Each structure stands twice: as structure tokens, then as C-alpha cells.
């Protein structure tokens, strides 16, 4: 894409984790803040250094208030494949853009960041001294400088083959850090109320970012569990609500998940989780309800639906049913008026979810959810579609050698009409998706129970 000349260049230092989720996160956030992802860089797949162009520093700051995939952003003053190239690039950077940060009353420091190599103190000092030609007039202050500049050196991705000289060298003015610390401060390990499938904090924030959650939004999770996804949305200022078919989960009753605790305590519930993080004011409510039979009145709209439906591995895919729906040959219980629990095919569940999202999202609202797939059989056609929803991104997280889950983000682009609810029946592309029904059997196929157990505990 051609770069417009009135855009400034910025350098993003990306975290080397959840690589596939990074580009959709940055793109979603930039479009949320009125920016656009504009870059000449060829590949973003693995590198921690991304050069992009942005219309203003404010957009860069807003981006960093939200991202968990980027560590820091710098205003890029120079870039080269060698020290000589870097220096000549710095010499051509407009002095008038440098001067506001280099004047005699200012304080500054220069930091060195290397990727895939450690430099000695002597080597670091040498690199800083070599920048003498820059018109620094302020005083060095290592403790509390007004301005921080960084030299960033990229020694590639292979730890077994570290080159003598870096592949790329960057110099920039540090602007802001991202929100990586949220991964620790919201860690499930320190959370009040957790379950077997509580969503990892980092991924919850990534999901809220893919969903473009913003202040005063209403965000809904139809498979709410312990509310891990509500917490991330509430952190970004959205009002949150959810449903779950499991009475004990919604009411915080029953067996505890923590090893050294038998039963859940009196206040182990989603509201208390939000309170733990000072977010209780964003709690609307959570209800016991079956996602296959939504009980919302017509005209109810959500700004985002962010959810992690069951895959049938650590919790069952269930829906409530009536006595009539019980297949022949299975004994019915005539006196029971309580809806019985029927198994819920994964393909039906995702189709219901898309239909529900198409009906209840505001136009431009986003659905973000996890789709489990058996990797040897996966093709892109398997990802469920809906005429009202545009596929925005589809990112893989591996679960085992033969299974993964894909984070799917869709945006509502068309008003729901009654005929849209039958779209699946009319369209062939949904057929391959029936393959998801046997995900559970496939998950456990070819692995012993012991290996499967190890894999599950690695995810926790
Ligand atoms: C993967 S867990 C969600 C975990 C949640 N994200 C968290 O952080 O705790 C899926 C949840 O869906 C619920 N569930 C299963 N079938 C359901 C249905 N038909 N309707 C609503 N919830 C259902 C399960 O009880 C479980 O709590």
C-alpha cells in the first residue's frame, strides 16, 4: 500500500506471543480510533518490529492504551540494515521534527533494545556514542528523563543462528507502552471465582480488542461461565451481561475448581470477580439460560458478543429440551416438568450463535468467538458464514498436534431479515462444517488419556 506523505512513521515493538492474533488486534484498534493500518512492510508474521504510518501521535497513544499484543510504540526517526544506513536515514529525518525534543532545557536518555542477542555494556555505550551527530542539546537524566530515545536492533528469529550484525536497526522516540501488565494483574491464578475453562487473561483482552469494545458499549456473552470475557470488556468501560445453562456456575454454587478447596465460597460469583477489579459498576446481570433458546425480546441490541462456546472437552455442549424431543427408546419421566438436558451438536450451536448475533448486534457490532477444529480436516470453508455477518479475521491457536481453536471475528454489515435465519439450509458452504460435530472424539483420538490430560493442563 502506498504511504501518504503526511503520515508519520511509527515503530511498534510487538510481543512474541499469540503471533496470529497481533495483526487483527492492531487493525481493529486502529479502525476503532479512526486510524487505518498503513504500512509498506512485507510481512508481520513473526517479526517483533513493525513499521506503520499513522495520522497522529494521539492515535498511537490510544492504540497503546488498549493493545496487549504490542509492547511499545516509538516515533521512528531512522531505520537501516546497517549502522551506516541507520545514520544516513537519521540525517535525512527533518531537524524541525527532532528539535522540540532535543532543546537545551530538556532531559533525555537513550536506551538500547536488542532482539535475539545480548550486548555488553561497552557495546551499548559505543552505539550511543556513535549518535553524536544528532543535535542533542539537553541533559542526560537516567532516572526521570523527559524524553526517552531507543536504538532497537533486530538479530532475527533463530536463536541457534545469531548473526554478528543485526538485520535491521531502528532509532526512535519512545511514545508509550502497551497493556501487557494486564496479563499479570488480571491473571486467572489470582482471580476470586474461576472454573475449569476460565479464559486466560491475555486472550480475553485480545478478544475484547478484536471485538472493538469501547466505553458505554453493552457486551454480551451467551456462554458466560465464570465471566472471564466480561471482565476484559468491563475493563475497557463496557457494561456486561451473560447467560449460562449451568445454574451452579451462574449462582457460584457447587464444587470449587481450586485444588485445596471443596466447595465454592459464599461470594464466588461473576459480580464478585468484577468487584475484585473495581469494575462492579459495569455489571448488568447474568442469567441461567440456554443459548439455543434465547429469551431476549425483539429489538434488543448488543454492541458486541464475545464468547467461548463449549467444545465438549472439559464441559458438555448442552441445551435444554422438552420431553417431546427425547428420541424414541429413551425412557421419559412423566412427572418431571423441568426441561431435560439434550446434547447440542456443535454445528447447530455455532449456527444458532451466528443467527443470534446477526439478529441482536447493532450494525457494525462484532461477534468474536472460538471455533474448535480438527486440524487435519480443517479448511477455511468450514468457518460458518451468515449473510448479515462479514468475516473480519480468523486466527489459529494450536491446542495439540491435531486440534486447534480458531478465534473468529465477524462484523454485522446488514440488517437482519426473517429469511436470513434459514440461510444455512439454503447454502452448500455450510455442509463441511458438519464435521465439527465429532470434535470431541477427534480431540481424544490417537492420544492416550494421559497425553490429553497433559495438553489440557498446559492450556490452564
Ligand atoms: C468454555 S465455557 C466458557 C468459559 C468462560 N469464558 C469463562 O471465562 O469462564 C462454556 C460455557 O458454556 C456453558 N454452556 C454449555 N451449553 C450451553 C448452552 N446451551 N447455553 C448456554 N450456556 C451453555 C457451559 O456451562 C460453560 O460454562
Q: Which residues pair with 241 in a beta bridge?
A: 220, 285
Spatial contact of 347 and 437, defined as CB atoms under 8 Å apart:
yes
| Ligand 1 centroid from CA 244, angstroms | 6
Say what the pLDDT of residue 419 is.
Answer: 77
| Ligand 1 centroid from CA 365, angstroms | 22
Nearest-atom index, ligand 1, CA of 309 = 10
Spatial contact of 116 and 47, defined as CB atoms under 8 Å apart:
no
Q: Which residues pair with 405 in a beta bridge?
A: 372, 397
- Tell the residue nearest (CA) to atom 10 of ligand 1: 310
Query: How many CA atoms lie within 13 Å of 111's alpha carbon, on the beta-carbon side?
Result: 13
Closest among 270, 444, 159 to 452, alpha carbons compared: 444
Q: Is the CB of 233 under 6 A from ligand 1?
A: no
Say what the pLDDT of residue 252 is.
Answer: 79
- Tell the residue nearest (CA) to atom 3 of ligand 1: 225
394: which residues sit within 8 A by CB, 6+ positions away? 380, 383, 406, 407, 408, 409
Q: What's the CA gap between 165 and 123, in Å, rounded? A: 12
Helix (H, G, I), strand (E, B) or coil at 136: coil
Q: Is the CB of 315 under 6 A from ligand 1?
A: yes
Nearest-atom index, ligand 1, CA of 224 = 5
CA distances from 293 to 190, 218, 243, 319 (A): 34, 20, 11, 8
Nearest-atom index, ligand 1, CA of 370 = 1
- Tell the residue nearest (CA) to atom 26 of ligand 1: 225
- How does pLDDT run along the chain (460 residues), one tens digit per residue? 344 445 799 999 999 999 999 999 999 999 999 888 888 777 777 999 999 999 999 999 999 999 999 999 999 999 999 999 999 999 999 999 999 999 999 999 999 999 999 999 999 999 999 999 999 999 999 999 999 999 999 999 999 999 999 999 999 999 999 999 999 999 999 998 888 889 999 999 999 999 999 999 999 999 999 999 999 999 999 999 999 999 989 987 777 777 777 777 778 899 999 999 999 999 999 999 999 888 888 887 999 999 999 986 555 566 776 555 544 443 443 434 445 566 677 788 999 999 999 999 999 999 999 999 999 989 999 899 999 999 999 999 999 999 999 999 999 999 998 877 776 654 555 555 565 666 666 666 654 455 555 556 655 5
Spatial contact of 410 and 391, defined as CB atoms under 8 Å apart:
yes
- Tell the residue nearest (CA) to atom 12 of ligand 1: 223
256-289 burial, b for 16+ CB within 10 Å, e for fewer? Answer: bbeeeeeebeeebbbbbbbeebebeebbeebeeb
Q: Is the CB of 229 under 6 A from ligand 1?
A: yes
The pTM assigned to this predicted structure is: 0.89
Nearest-atom index, ligand 1, CA of 349 = 19
Say what the pLDDT of residue 359 is.
Answer: 95
Q: What percent of the chain has a predicted confidence (pLDDT) above 90?
A: 68
Helix (H, G, I), strand (E, B) or coil at 208: helix
Say what the pLDDT of residue 44 is.
Answer: 74
Residue pointed to by grid coordinates 429469511: 419
Nearest-atom index, ligand 1, CA of 221 = 6
Nearest-atom index, ligand 1, CA of 319 = 19
Q: Judging by DSSP bridges, how do beta strands 239-244 and 283-288 pair with one another? A: parallel
Say what the pLDDT of residue 337 is.
Answer: 44
| Ligand 1 centroid from CA 368, angstroms | 15
Say what the pLDDT of residue 312 is.
Answer: 67
| Ligand 1 centroid from CA 347, angstroms | 16
Kindly state the DSSP code that residue 29 receives in the 8-state scheme.
H
Q: Is the CB of 244 under 6 A from ligand 1?
A: yes
* Beta strands, E only, 118-231: 139-140, 147-154, 168-177, 218-221
Say what the pLDDT of residue 410 is.
Answer: 98
- For 356-369, the pLDDT digits (tens) are 999 999 999 999 99
Q: Is the CB of 199 under 6 A from ligand 1?
A: yes
Say what the pLDDT of residue 37 is.
Answer: 85
Say what the pLDDT of residue 23 is.
Answer: 95
Give, for 24, the enclosing helix (H) or strand (E).
helix 19-32
Nearest-atom index, ligand 1, CA of 225 = 27
Q: Which residues pair with 50 in a beta bridge?
A: 12
Say what the pLDDT of residue 1 is.
Answer: 39
Helix (H, G, I), strand (E, B) or coil at 185: helix
Q: Which residues pair with 115 in a beta bridge?
A: 154
Q: Is the CB of 243 under 6 A from ligand 1?
A: yes
Say what the pLDDT of residue 432 is.
Answer: 55
Q: Is the CB of 269 under 6 A from ligand 1?
A: no
The DSSP code sequence of 231-276 is HHHHHTT-EEEEEES-HHHHHT-SB-SSTT-SB--TT-SHHHHHHH
Amino acid at each position: 500500500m502506498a504511504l501518504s506523505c503526511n503520515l508519520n512513521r511509527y515503530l511498534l515493538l510487538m510481543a512474541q506471543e499469540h503471533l496470529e492474533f497481533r495483526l487483527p488486534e492492531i487493525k481493529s484498534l486502529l479502525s476503532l480510533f479512526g486510524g487505518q493500518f498503513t504500512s509498506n512492510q512485507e510481512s508481520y508474521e513473526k517479526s517483533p518490529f513493525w513499521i506503520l504510518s499513522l495520522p497522529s501521535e494521539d492515535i498511537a497513544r490510544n492504540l497503546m492504551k488498549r493493545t496487549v499484543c504490542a509492547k511499545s510504540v516509538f516515533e521512528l526517526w531512522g531505520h537501516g540494515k546497517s549502522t551506516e544506513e541507520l545514520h544516513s536515514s537519521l540525517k535525512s529525518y527533518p531537524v524541525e521534527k527532532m528539535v522540540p525534543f532535543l532543546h537545551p532545557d530538556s532531559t533525555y536518555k537513550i536506551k538500547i533494545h536488542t532482539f535475539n542477542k545480548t550486548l555488553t555494556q561497552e557495546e551499548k555505550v559505543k552505539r550511543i556514542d556513535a549518535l553524536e551527530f544528532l543535535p542533542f542539546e539537553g541533559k542526560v537524566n537516567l532516572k526521570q528523563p523527559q524524553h526517552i530515545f531507543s536504538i532497537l536492533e533486530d538479530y532475527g528469529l533463530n536463536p541457534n543462528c545469531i548473526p554478528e550484525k543485526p538485520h535491521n536497526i531502528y532509532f526512535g522516540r519512545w511514545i508509550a507502552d502497551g497493556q501487557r501488565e494486564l496479563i499479570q494483574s488480571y491473571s486467572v491464578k489470582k482471580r476470586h471465582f474461576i472454573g475449569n475453562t476460565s479464559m486466560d487473561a491475555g486472550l480475553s483482552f485480545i478478544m475484547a480488542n478484536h471485538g472493538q469494545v469501547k466505553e458505554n458499549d453493552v457486551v454480551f456473552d451467551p456462554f458466560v461461565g465464570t465471566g472471564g470475557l466480561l471482565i476484559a470488556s468491563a475493563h475497557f468501560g463496557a457494561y456486561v451481561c451473560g447467560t449460562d445453562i449451568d445454574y451452579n456456575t451462574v449462582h457460584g454454587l457447587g464444587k470449587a475448581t481450586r485444588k485445596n478447596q471443596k466447595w465454592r465460597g459464599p461470594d464466588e460469583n461473576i459480580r464478585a470477580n468484577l468487584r475484585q477489579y473495581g469494575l462492579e459498576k459495569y455489571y448488568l446481570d447474568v442469567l441461567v439460560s440456554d443459548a439455543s433458546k434465547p429469551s431476549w425480546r425483539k429489538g434488543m441490541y448488543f454492541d458486541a458478543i464475545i464468547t467461548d462456546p463449549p467444545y465438549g472437552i472439559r464441559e458438555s455442549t448442552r441445551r435444554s429440551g422438552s420431553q417431546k424431543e427425547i428420541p424414541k427408546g429413551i425412557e421419559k419421566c412423566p412427572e418431571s416438568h423441568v426441561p431435560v438436558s439434550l446434547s447440542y451438536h456443535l454445528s447447530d450451536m455455532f449456527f444458532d450463535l451466528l443467527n443470534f448475533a446477526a439478529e441482536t448486534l447493532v450494525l457494525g457490532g462484532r461477534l468474536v468467538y472460538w471455533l474448535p477444529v480438527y486440524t487435519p480436516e480443517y479448511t477455511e470453508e468450514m468457518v460458518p458464514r451468515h449473510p448479515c455477518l462479514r468475516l473480519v479475521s480468523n486466527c489459529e491457536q494450536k491446542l495439540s498436534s491435531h486440534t486447534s481453536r480458531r478465534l473468529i471475528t465477524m462484523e454485522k454489515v446488514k440488517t437482519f431479515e426473517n429469511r436470513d435465519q434459514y440461510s444455512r439450509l439454503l447454502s452448500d458452504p455450510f455442509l463441511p462444517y458438519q464435521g465439527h460435530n465429532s470434535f470431541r472424539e477427534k480431540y481424544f483420538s490417537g492420544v492416550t488419556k494421559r497425553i490429553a490430560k497433559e495438553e489440557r493442563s498446559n492450556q490452564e
